[in-house]
Amino acid sequence: MTIIATIIVLGVLIFVHELGHFLAARSVGVRVERFSIGLGPRVFGFTRGETEYVLSAVPLGGYVKLGGMNDEVMEAIEGGKQEGQPAGSGSDDFDNKPVWARAWVISAGVLMNMAFAFLAYTVVAAGWGNPEMDTTRLGTVRGAALPAEASALAEIPPGATLLSIGDREVVHWGDVREGILEAPEGPVTFTFTDPEGSVTVELTGEEERRRIYRSMEFWADPVVQAVNPGTPADRAGIQRGDRVIGVDGGEIATWPEFVSIVQQNPDTEIQVALLRDGGELVREVTPDAVQDLDPITGEPRTIGQIGVLPALPGVAYSPLAPVEAVRAGWDETYAITALILGFLRDLVTGQISPRNLGSIVAIGEASGQAAAEGLPVFLRFMALFSINLAILNLLPIPVLDGGHLVFLGIEAVRGRPLSVEQRMRWSQVGFVVLIGIMALALGNDFLRLFGL
């Protein structure tokens, strides 16, 4: 399953990216000499018209070889200089096209990856619906964040299961959100069970309703689903599957309780009691101090983080109309793009360890796990990875699309291109940087495999 899922993910997304370059090149009259899925030596292929279509030996990328584009570094990656291709310097050569046309060809791969992500998210939203947490069990209500007219919600005991909000039955957490946001203005009754009870609150304006919703968290058992490499939790020896049962001598029943204590202790050591394989153990962890925005007030704050993710409830899907599905696809594409850009920012500023980088091994593990969860989860994973591929290709590293766009930007400002020798030198530097990043990511994967 893992191998097949990895082949599908890499094959489809590489094809989509290179198809973007191919179609853009054809749209502005640039000759395409080779369309390759994979890098290095040719395994097999065929020629149609002026283009050779190839499957190459190393399945870690692909390329579209454009006529008249001088790039000896890419020729090395492609498996050596290709024989039998037209050499001239005609009007269909890439380097003879205006800057805007070349920028369009270079950026089209990234645009295709973003378009694929948007389409995949939209298809999932239209075919299955909007993903929601498949629970109505209440974990925590932050009473201090509630408007005065809704303060009675803090009386609902943790662990209670919500049954209805006003006249609306709730069957997953999305219903809880919509019930709060869409209930008629005035008194609204929240009914629950385990234990049986109800509370009535006053629902008024939109902002007050959003404050109410943000103050409520669904129940999540304090079980670790994942540990980010190089983080305080990783260094302390916390592992996937560990159940947090206490912190500093106090008991922990839910994940939000654990998160709250961690956030309150930046740069302060805490004793975390864990249940692992039927036995109890204690780990000393010092949360990193991280700048964040308060989810209720929006004010900046410093919180603690240790780098763990919880085991969440399953996913349920709420139906969406076609227009809503398109909006959901756009919103998720935007949100994931912002998330990945934030990760890169934190990586550059040192707030996230380089140990979080992963290579083909991590991609394979994630692909297999997503495929095991079913088609909608797998499609959403492919969409996420497609956005990741697009953003990474925009990095200003020569040999990547972003590096070529930098060269074109310099040409647009100077009024003449960099010399072939200058581009070659920078491309060689970029190639070394890229190999270094890949080696670091692969090393991280092996360290994870051996539990280091």
Q: Residue 425 is encoded by which pair of tokens?
A: 């030198």
β-partners of residue 104 are none
Amino acid at 176: V
Q: How many residues does the chain have?
A: 452
Contact 52, 46 (CB under 8 A): yes
Q: Report phi then psi at 105, rounded to 5.
A: -65, -45
Q: For residue 197, count other CB atoms closer than 10 A to its CB.
A: 13
CA dist., res. 449 & res. 426, Å (int): 35
Tokens 């502005």 -> residue: 28
Q: For residue 195, count other CB atoms closer than 10 A to its CB.
A: 10
Q: Residue 340 is encoded by which pair of tokens?
A: 């990945």
Q: Report helix angle 420-449 to 401-414, nearest 10.
A: 150
> Cα angle vertex 307, ends 304, 313, to 5°?
110
Catalytic (active-site) positions: 18
CA dist., res. 178 & res. 188, Å (int): 13
Q: Where are the beta strands (DSSP E) in 184-312?
A: 186-193, 197-203, 216-218, 224-227, 243-247, 250-251, 270-276, 279-285, 288-293, 300-305, 308-310
Under 8 Å CB-to-CB from 81, ≥6 apart: which residues? 75
**Edge-first strand listing for the sheet containing 279-285:** 250-251, 243-247, 270-276, 279-285
Contact 152, 200 (CB under 8 A): yes
The SS3 of residue 46 is: strand
β-partners of residue 276 are 279
Q: Which whole-number Å values give the CA distances from 392 to 11, 337, 363, 388, in the listed order?
A: 17, 11, 14, 6
CA dist., res. 56 & res. 39, Å (int): 5
